[in-house]
Structure 1
Amino acid sequence: MIEWCNANQGFVMTVLTLVYVIATIAIVLLARHSNKIAQANLQTLVDLEREKSRPLIDVDLVPDSIFLSLHVSNRGLTPAYDVQFSITPTLTYLEGHGKNVPLAILDNGLTSLAPGSTTKTLIGSFKELKDANPTLQYTGEVVFKDANGRSYKSPVNIDLRWREKNYYINRNTIHDVAVQLEEIKQEFKFIANGFHKPHVITQDAKEKREEDEALREMVMAEKDSAG
Protein backbone atom coordinates (compact mmCIF):
# COMPACT_ATOMS: atom_id res chain seq x y z
CA MET A 1 0.00 0.00 0.00
CA ILE A 2 2.83 2.33 0.90
CA GLU A 3 4.65 1.44 -2.28
CA TRP A 4 1.50 2.08 -4.32
CA CYS A 5 1.03 5.50 -2.66
CA ASN A 6 4.66 6.36 -3.33
CA ALA A 7 4.25 5.32 -6.92
CA ASN A 8 1.03 7.33 -7.33
CA GLN A 9 1.75 10.41 -5.24
CA GLY A 10 0.19 12.76 -7.76
CA PHE A 11 -3.09 10.86 -7.82
CA VAL A 12 -3.19 10.55 -4.03
CA MET A 13 -2.55 14.27 -3.55
CA THR A 14 -5.30 15.08 -6.03
CA VAL A 15 -7.79 12.88 -4.17
CA LEU A 16 -6.81 14.34 -0.79
CA THR A 17 -7.11 17.87 -2.14
CA LEU A 18 -10.55 17.08 -3.54
CA VAL A 19 -11.68 15.65 -0.20
CA TYR A 20 -10.34 18.73 1.57
CA VAL A 21 -12.19 21.03 -0.81
CA ILE A 22 -15.44 19.09 -0.43
CA ALA A 23 -15.09 19.13 3.37
CA THR A 24 -14.38 22.86 3.34
CA ILE A 25 -17.43 23.53 1.17
CA ALA A 26 -19.58 21.40 3.49
CA ILE A 27 -18.29 23.28 6.54
CA VAL A 28 -19.01 26.63 4.86
CA LEU A 29 -22.54 25.54 3.92
CA LEU A 30 -23.20 24.29 7.45
CA ALA A 31 -21.86 27.55 8.88
CA ARG A 32 -24.09 29.61 6.58
CA HIS A 33 -27.09 27.48 7.53
CA SER A 34 -26.28 27.90 11.22
CA ASN A 35 -25.93 31.67 10.75
CA LYS A 36 -29.33 31.82 9.04
CA ILE A 37 -30.90 29.88 11.90
CA ALA A 38 -29.23 32.17 14.44
CA GLN A 39 -30.41 35.28 12.56
CA ALA A 40 -33.94 33.89 12.36
CA ASN A 41 -33.92 33.14 16.09
CA LEU A 42 -32.58 36.62 16.82
CA GLN A 43 -35.27 38.22 14.64
CA THR A 44 -37.91 36.13 16.41
CA LEU A 45 -36.66 37.36 19.78
CA VAL A 46 -36.67 40.96 18.51
CA ASP A 47 -40.23 40.57 17.19
CA LEU A 48 -41.40 38.99 20.44
CA GLU A 49 -39.83 41.79 22.47
CA ARG A 50 -41.40 44.39 20.19
CA GLU A 51 -44.82 42.76 20.48
CA LYS A 52 -44.47 42.53 24.24
CA SER A 53 -43.51 46.17 24.67
CA ARG A 54 -45.66 47.76 21.96
CA PRO A 55 -48.73 49.93 22.63
CA LEU A 56 -52.10 48.16 22.65
CA ILE A 57 -55.27 50.23 22.25
CA ASP A 58 -58.60 48.92 23.52
CA VAL A 59 -61.98 50.59 22.80
CA ASP A 60 -65.13 49.76 24.76
CA LEU A 61 -68.44 51.17 25.99
CA VAL A 62 -68.44 50.91 29.78
CA PRO A 63 -71.52 51.30 32.05
CA ASP A 64 -71.38 54.15 34.56
CA SER A 65 -74.57 53.94 36.65
CA ILE A 66 -77.40 54.44 34.12
CA PHE A 67 -75.05 55.98 31.54
CA LEU A 68 -72.50 54.59 29.10
CA SER A 69 -69.07 56.06 28.45
CA LEU A 70 -66.61 55.44 25.64
CA HIS A 71 -63.33 54.23 27.15
CA VAL A 72 -60.12 54.31 25.09
CA SER A 73 -57.30 52.55 26.96
CA ASN A 74 -53.65 51.85 26.24
CA ARG A 75 -53.00 48.43 27.78
CA GLY A 76 -49.51 48.21 26.32
CA LEU A 77 -46.14 49.08 27.86
CA THR A 78 -45.22 52.02 25.59
CA PRO A 79 -47.04 55.17 24.44
CA ALA A 80 -49.34 55.12 21.42
CA TYR A 81 -49.19 57.95 18.89
CA ASP A 82 -51.52 59.27 16.19
CA VAL A 83 -54.49 57.18 17.36
CA GLN A 84 -57.28 57.19 14.75
CA PHE A 85 -60.71 55.55 14.95
CA SER A 86 -63.10 54.02 12.42
CA ILE A 87 -66.30 52.75 14.09
CA THR A 88 -69.62 51.77 12.49
CA PRO A 89 -72.31 52.92 13.24
CA THR A 90 -70.88 56.29 14.22
CA LEU A 91 -70.84 56.93 17.96
CA THR A 92 -72.06 60.35 19.10
CA TYR A 93 -72.95 62.09 22.35
CA LEU A 94 -76.71 61.54 22.78
CA GLU A 95 -77.89 64.90 24.06
CA GLY A 96 -81.57 63.96 23.95
CA HIS A 97 -84.57 64.94 21.82
CA GLY A 98 -82.92 63.27 18.84
CA LYS A 99 -79.94 65.63 18.93
CA ASN A 100 -76.60 63.88 18.51
CA VAL A 101 -73.30 65.70 19.00
CA PRO A 102 -70.18 64.37 17.18
CA LEU A 103 -67.37 63.14 19.43
CA ALA A 104 -64.16 65.09 18.94
CA ILE A 105 -62.07 62.11 20.05
CA LEU A 106 -63.44 60.01 17.17
CA ASP A 107 -63.32 62.79 14.59
CA ASN A 108 -59.86 64.11 15.44
CA GLY A 109 -58.23 61.11 17.12
CA LEU A 110 -55.60 61.30 19.85
CA THR A 111 -52.11 62.70 19.45
CA SER A 112 -50.79 60.28 22.06
CA LEU A 113 -51.95 58.00 24.86
CA ALA A 114 -49.62 57.01 27.68
CA PRO A 115 -49.28 53.35 28.72
CA GLY A 116 -51.78 52.30 31.37
CA SER A 117 -53.96 55.38 30.84
CA THR A 118 -57.62 55.64 29.82
CA THR A 119 -59.56 58.53 28.33
CA LYS A 120 -63.34 58.59 28.85
CA THR A 121 -66.15 60.29 26.96
CA LEU A 122 -69.81 60.27 27.99
CA ILE A 123 -72.18 58.83 25.38
CA GLY A 124 -75.61 58.75 27.05
CA SER A 125 -78.09 56.38 28.65
CA PHE A 126 -78.61 52.82 27.48
CA LYS A 127 -82.13 53.66 26.27
CA GLU A 128 -80.84 56.56 24.16
CA LEU A 129 -78.11 54.35 22.73
CA LYS A 130 -80.61 51.64 21.83
CA ASP A 131 -82.92 54.17 20.18
CA ALA A 132 -80.00 55.41 18.08
CA ASN A 133 -78.73 51.90 17.23
CA PRO A 134 -81.24 49.08 17.89
CA THR A 135 -78.65 46.39 17.05
CA LEU A 136 -76.48 47.53 20.00
CA GLN A 137 -73.39 46.41 18.07
CA TYR A 138 -70.40 48.44 16.87
CA THR A 139 -67.49 47.29 14.73
CA GLY A 140 -64.41 48.88 13.21
CA GLU A 141 -60.74 49.35 13.95
CA VAL A 142 -58.31 51.69 15.65
CA VAL A 143 -54.99 52.53 13.98
CA PHE A 144 -51.99 53.83 15.94
CA LYS A 145 -48.19 54.03 15.93
CA ASP A 146 -45.35 53.39 18.34
CA ALA A 147 -42.42 55.70 19.07
CA ASN A 148 -40.54 54.39 16.00
CA GLY A 149 -43.43 55.12 13.64
CA ARG A 150 -44.41 51.46 13.23
CA SER A 151 -48.16 51.17 12.57
CA TYR A 152 -50.54 48.81 14.34
CA LYS A 153 -54.23 47.98 14.09
CA SER A 154 -56.64 46.73 16.73
CA PRO A 155 -60.18 45.55 15.93
CA VAL A 156 -63.18 47.21 17.57
CA ASN A 157 -66.01 44.81 18.36
CA ILE A 158 -68.54 46.13 20.90
CA ASP A 159 -71.72 44.17 21.66
CA LEU A 160 -74.12 45.64 24.25
CA ARG A 161 -76.98 43.16 23.81
CA TRP A 162 -76.08 41.60 27.15
CA ARG A 163 -77.35 44.77 28.89
CA GLU A 164 -80.92 44.25 27.71
CA LYS A 165 -83.19 43.26 30.61
CA ASN A 166 -80.14 43.36 32.84
CA TYR A 167 -81.06 44.57 36.33
CA TYR A 168 -78.82 46.61 38.57
CA ILE A 169 -78.89 48.48 41.87
CA ASN A 170 -79.06 52.23 41.45
CA ARG A 171 -76.30 53.73 43.57
CA ASN A 172 -75.46 57.35 44.20
CA THR A 173 -72.56 58.53 42.10
CA ILE A 174 -70.04 61.30 42.70
CA HIS A 175 -72.32 63.53 40.64
CA ASP A 176 -75.18 62.95 43.11
CA VAL A 177 -72.90 63.80 46.04
CA ALA A 178 -71.77 66.97 44.27
CA VAL A 179 -75.40 68.01 43.72
CA GLN A 180 -76.22 67.48 47.40
CA LEU A 181 -73.17 69.46 48.49
CA GLU A 182 -74.20 72.27 46.16
CA GLU A 183 -77.69 72.28 47.71
CA ILE A 184 -76.19 72.46 51.22
CA LYS A 185 -73.90 75.27 50.10
CA GLN A 186 -76.88 77.16 48.65
CA GLU A 187 -78.86 76.67 51.87
CA PHE A 188 -76.03 78.14 53.95
CA LYS A 189 -75.82 81.05 51.54
CA PHE A 190 -79.55 81.76 52.00
CA ILE A 191 -79.15 81.64 55.78
CA ALA A 192 -76.17 84.00 55.64
CA ASN A 193 -78.11 86.44 53.44
CA GLY A 194 -81.15 86.35 55.72
CA PHE A 195 -83.52 84.68 53.25
CA HIS A 196 -83.91 81.64 55.50
CA LYS A 197 -83.98 81.80 59.27
CA PRO A 198 -82.95 78.63 61.08
CA HIS A 199 -85.42 77.47 63.74
CA VAL A 200 -83.53 77.54 67.03
CA ILE A 201 -85.08 76.38 70.31
CA THR A 202 -83.95 78.70 73.09
CA GLN A 203 -86.14 77.07 75.77
CA ASP A 204 -84.51 75.06 78.55
CA ALA A 205 -84.37 71.37 77.60
CA LYS A 206 -85.95 70.15 80.86
CA GLU A 207 -88.72 72.71 80.62
CA LYS A 208 -89.33 71.72 77.00
CA ARG A 209 -89.65 68.02 77.93
CA GLU A 210 -92.11 68.82 80.73
CA GLU A 211 -94.17 70.94 78.37
CA ASP A 212 -94.23 68.18 75.75
CA GLU A 213 -95.23 65.60 78.38
CA ALA A 214 -98.08 67.80 79.63
CA LEU A 215 -99.30 68.29 76.07
CA ARG A 216 -99.19 64.54 75.45
CA GLU A 217 -101.18 63.81 78.64
CA MET A 218 -103.77 66.40 77.66
CA VAL A 219 -104.20 64.80 74.24
CA MET A 220 -104.57 61.34 75.80
CA ALA A 221 -107.17 62.67 78.26
CA GLU A 222 -109.20 64.17 75.43
CA LYS A 223 -109.11 60.83 73.60
CA ASP A 224 -110.30 58.98 76.73
CA SER A 225 -113.17 61.41 77.31
CA ALA A 226 -114.20 61.14 73.68
CA GLY A 227 -114.22 57.34 73.98
Structure 2
Amino acid sequence: MIEMRCLFWTIAWVAIFAGGYCEAEPICPLLRNTPPFSAHGETRLTALLGFGLENHISFGIESFSDDLLQPLTTNLAKGTAESKIRQILGMPAAYRVSCATGVVIVQDSRVASPPWLNRRVPRFHTPKTTLFMANAGLWMLVETLLNPRQQGFAGDSPPGDAEDQVGPYDIRGATVRGLLCQLAGSSKGTAWLIERPGLSLRGTASRNRLWTLWMGGGGRH
Protein backbone atom coordinates (compact mmCIF):
# COMPACT_ATOMS: atom_id res chain seq x y z
CA MET A 1 0.00 0.00 0.00
CA ILE A 2 2.80 2.44 0.92
CA GLU A 3 4.70 1.61 -2.29
CA MET A 4 1.56 2.22 -4.36
CA ARG A 5 0.94 5.53 -2.59
CA CYS A 6 4.51 6.71 -3.19
CA LEU A 7 4.10 5.81 -6.86
CA PHE A 8 0.87 7.83 -6.96
CA TRP A 9 2.56 10.92 -5.50
CA THR A 10 5.48 10.61 -7.90
CA ILE A 11 3.24 10.37 -10.98
CA ALA A 12 0.97 13.16 -9.74
CA TRP A 13 3.81 15.59 -9.15
CA VAL A 14 5.48 14.83 -12.47
CA ALA A 15 2.22 16.00 -14.03
CA ILE A 16 2.03 19.07 -11.79
CA PHE A 17 5.60 20.10 -12.56
CA ALA A 18 4.68 20.19 -16.23
CA GLY A 19 2.19 22.88 -15.22
CA GLY A 20 4.78 24.94 -13.36
CA TYR A 21 4.84 23.57 -9.82
CA CYS A 22 7.75 22.04 -7.92
CA GLU A 23 9.45 19.09 -9.51
CA ALA A 24 8.57 15.57 -8.41
CA GLU A 25 10.58 13.55 -5.90
CA PRO A 26 10.64 9.76 -5.41
CA ILE A 27 9.73 9.82 -1.70
CA CYS A 28 6.96 12.02 -0.35
CA PRO A 29 7.59 13.62 3.09
CA LEU A 30 3.90 13.14 3.93
CA LEU A 31 4.43 9.39 4.22
CA ARG A 32 7.23 9.69 6.76
CA ASN A 33 6.62 8.21 10.21
CA THR A 34 7.10 10.88 12.88
CA PRO A 35 7.37 10.78 16.69
CA PRO A 36 4.73 12.19 19.08
CA PHE A 37 4.13 15.94 18.84
CA SER A 38 2.49 18.36 21.25
CA ALA A 39 1.32 21.96 21.12
CA HIS A 40 0.32 24.06 24.13
CA GLY A 41 -1.60 27.23 23.37
CA GLU A 42 0.41 28.35 20.34
CA THR A 43 -1.28 29.19 17.06
CA ARG A 44 -1.96 26.43 14.56
CA LEU A 45 0.45 28.12 12.15
CA THR A 46 3.24 28.20 14.74
CA ALA A 47 2.56 24.57 15.62
CA LEU A 48 2.70 23.60 11.94
CA LEU A 49 6.04 25.34 11.43
CA GLY A 50 7.37 23.87 14.68
CA PHE A 51 6.33 20.38 13.61
CA GLY A 52 8.23 20.86 10.37
CA LEU A 53 11.33 22.12 12.14
CA GLU A 54 11.35 19.23 14.63
CA ASN A 55 10.96 16.66 11.84
CA HIS A 56 13.13 18.33 9.18
CA ILE A 57 10.16 18.88 6.87
CA SER A 58 10.00 22.09 4.85
CA PHE A 59 6.72 23.87 4.09
CA GLY A 60 5.40 26.12 1.37
CA ILE A 61 2.23 27.87 2.55
CA GLU A 62 0.51 29.44 -0.45
CA SER A 63 -2.59 30.70 1.33
CA PHE A 64 -4.27 30.50 4.72
CA SER A 65 -7.14 31.99 6.72
CA ASP A 66 -7.56 33.31 10.26
CA ASP A 67 -8.31 29.83 11.59
CA LEU A 68 -4.57 29.07 11.45
CA LEU A 69 -4.02 31.95 13.88
CA GLN A 70 -6.26 30.36 16.51
CA PRO A 71 -4.60 28.73 19.57
CA LEU A 72 -4.07 24.99 19.60
CA THR A 73 -3.46 22.58 22.46
CA THR A 74 -3.00 18.97 21.45
CA ASN A 75 -0.94 15.84 22.02
CA LEU A 76 -0.49 13.73 18.90
CA ALA A 77 0.73 10.14 18.99
CA LYS A 78 3.38 8.90 16.61
CA GLY A 79 2.18 8.45 13.05
CA THR A 80 2.64 9.74 9.52
CA ALA A 81 3.52 13.36 8.88
CA GLU A 82 0.37 13.74 6.80
CA SER A 83 -1.94 12.66 9.62
CA LYS A 84 -0.33 15.13 12.05
CA ILE A 85 -0.33 17.99 9.56
CA ARG A 86 -4.04 17.53 8.89
CA GLN A 87 -4.80 17.42 12.62
CA ILE A 88 -2.77 20.58 13.21
CA LEU A 89 -4.57 22.37 10.38
CA GLY A 90 -7.84 21.37 12.02
CA MET A 91 -10.01 21.84 8.91
CA PRO A 92 -8.97 19.06 6.51
CA ALA A 93 -11.74 19.90 4.04
CA ALA A 94 -10.55 23.51 3.76
CA TYR A 95 -6.84 22.86 3.20
CA ARG A 96 -5.17 20.99 0.36
CA VAL A 97 -1.93 19.28 1.35
CA SER A 98 0.52 17.93 -1.22
CA CYS A 99 4.27 17.43 -1.50
CA ALA A 100 7.08 18.03 -3.95
CA THR A 101 10.86 18.45 -3.91
CA GLY A 102 10.91 17.59 -0.22
CA VAL A 103 8.51 20.48 0.50
CA VAL A 104 4.96 20.10 1.83
CA ILE A 105 2.62 22.54 0.08
CA VAL A 106 -0.40 23.88 2.00
CA GLN A 107 -3.19 25.69 0.13
CA ASP A 108 -6.41 27.11 1.56
CA SER A 109 -9.17 26.14 -0.87
CA ARG A 110 -11.16 29.20 0.27
CA VAL A 111 -8.41 31.67 -0.67
CA ALA A 112 -6.79 32.05 -4.09
CA SER A 113 -3.02 31.72 -4.23
CA PRO A 114 -1.31 34.88 -5.55
CA PRO A 115 -0.86 34.77 -9.34
CA TRP A 116 2.82 35.73 -9.16
CA LEU A 117 3.59 32.23 -7.84
CA ASN A 118 2.93 30.98 -11.38
CA ARG A 119 5.14 33.63 -12.99
CA ARG A 120 8.01 32.04 -14.88
CA VAL A 121 11.48 33.40 -14.24
CA PRO A 122 13.61 33.49 -17.41
CA ARG A 123 16.78 32.71 -15.47
CA PHE A 124 17.69 32.39 -11.79
CA HIS A 125 21.45 32.38 -11.48
CA THR A 126 23.41 32.57 -8.24
CA PRO A 127 26.73 31.20 -6.97
CA LYS A 128 26.93 29.12 -3.82
CA THR A 129 25.82 31.44 -1.04
CA THR A 130 23.77 31.58 2.16
CA LEU A 131 20.11 30.65 1.98
CA PHE A 132 19.07 34.18 2.93
CA MET A 133 21.25 35.76 0.24
CA ALA A 134 19.85 33.41 -2.41
CA ASN A 135 16.33 34.21 -1.21
CA ALA A 136 17.04 37.96 -1.38
CA GLY A 137 18.37 37.57 -4.91
CA LEU A 138 15.24 35.70 -5.98
CA TRP A 139 12.97 38.31 -4.41
CA MET A 140 14.68 41.24 -6.18
CA LEU A 141 14.54 39.33 -9.47
CA VAL A 142 10.80 38.67 -9.07
CA GLU A 143 10.14 42.29 -8.13
CA THR A 144 11.82 43.52 -11.31
CA LEU A 145 9.79 41.05 -13.38
CA LEU A 146 6.54 42.25 -11.80
CA ASN A 147 7.54 45.92 -12.03
CA PRO A 148 10.32 46.64 -14.55
CA ARG A 149 10.50 50.26 -13.32
CA GLN A 150 11.40 49.15 -9.81
CA GLN A 151 14.22 51.37 -8.52
CA GLY A 152 14.74 50.22 -4.93
CA PHE A 153 13.93 47.32 -2.63
CA ALA A 154 12.62 47.35 0.93
CA GLY A 155 12.66 44.18 3.00
CA ASP A 156 13.73 42.79 6.36
CA SER A 157 16.43 40.14 6.18
CA PRO A 158 18.90 39.02 8.88
CA PRO A 159 22.39 37.93 7.80
CA GLY A 160 21.47 34.26 8.19
CA ASP A 161 23.58 31.26 9.09
CA ALA A 162 26.90 31.35 7.23
CA GLU A 163 26.99 27.54 7.40
CA ASP A 164 23.61 27.18 5.67
CA GLN A 165 24.83 27.32 2.08
CA VAL A 166 22.78 26.64 -1.06
CA GLY A 167 23.54 26.58 -4.77
CA PRO A 168 25.08 27.23 -7.11
CA TYR A 169 21.95 27.56 -9.25
CA ASP A 170 21.44 28.28 -12.92
CA ILE A 171 17.76 27.54 -13.51
CA ARG A 172 15.80 28.70 -16.54
CA GLY A 173 12.06 28.97 -17.03
CA ALA A 174 10.96 27.81 -13.56
CA THR A 175 8.01 29.34 -11.75
CA VAL A 176 8.47 31.46 -8.63
CA ARG A 177 6.74 28.66 -6.72
CA GLY A 178 9.23 26.13 -8.04
CA LEU A 179 12.22 28.29 -7.12
CA LEU A 180 10.91 28.89 -3.60
CA CYS A 181 10.51 25.14 -3.22
CA GLN A 182 14.07 24.68 -4.46
CA LEU A 183 15.42 27.05 -1.80
CA ALA A 184 13.27 25.77 1.08
CA GLY A 185 13.89 22.13 0.20
CA SER A 186 17.64 22.67 0.45
CA SER A 187 17.34 23.44 4.18
CA LYS A 188 15.07 20.99 5.99
CA GLY A 189 12.65 22.62 8.39
CA THR A 190 12.66 25.91 6.50
CA ALA A 191 9.31 27.30 5.35
CA TRP A 192 8.17 29.91 2.88
CA LEU A 193 4.76 31.48 3.27
CA ILE A 194 2.81 34.24 1.63
CA GLU A 195 3.48 37.53 3.39
CA ARG A 196 0.64 38.71 5.59
CA PRO A 197 0.89 42.24 7.06
CA GLY A 198 0.87 42.22 10.85
CA LEU A 199 1.68 38.52 11.14
CA SER A 200 4.12 37.89 13.98
CA LEU A 201 6.46 34.89 13.80
CA ARG A 202 9.03 33.94 16.40
CA GLY A 203 12.47 33.01 15.18
CA THR A 204 14.65 33.96 12.24
CA ALA A 205 12.83 35.14 9.14
CA SER A 206 13.49 37.12 5.99
CA ARG A 207 10.43 39.17 4.98
CA ASN A 208 9.49 41.11 1.89
CA ARG A 209 6.18 42.32 0.48
CA LEU A 210 5.56 39.02 -1.35
CA TRP A 211 6.70 36.21 0.95
CA THR A 212 8.46 35.31 4.19
CA LEU A 213 11.26 32.76 4.44
CA TRP A 214 11.18 31.30 7.97
CA MET A 215 14.16 29.50 9.48
CA GLY A 216 12.90 28.71 12.97
CA GLY A 217 14.39 29.44 16.37
CA GLY A 218 13.00 31.74 19.03
CA GLY A 219 10.91 29.05 20.75
CA ARG A 220 7.35 28.00 20.01
CA HIS A 221 5.53 28.81 23.23
TM-score > 0.5 by shorter chain: no
- Looking at CA atoms only, which structure, 1 or 2, has the larger radius of gyration? 1
TM-score (norm 1): 0.20
More helix by share: 1
Scaled by the length of structure 2, the TM-score of the pair is 0.20
Greater relative CO (CA pairs within 8 A, separation 6+): 2
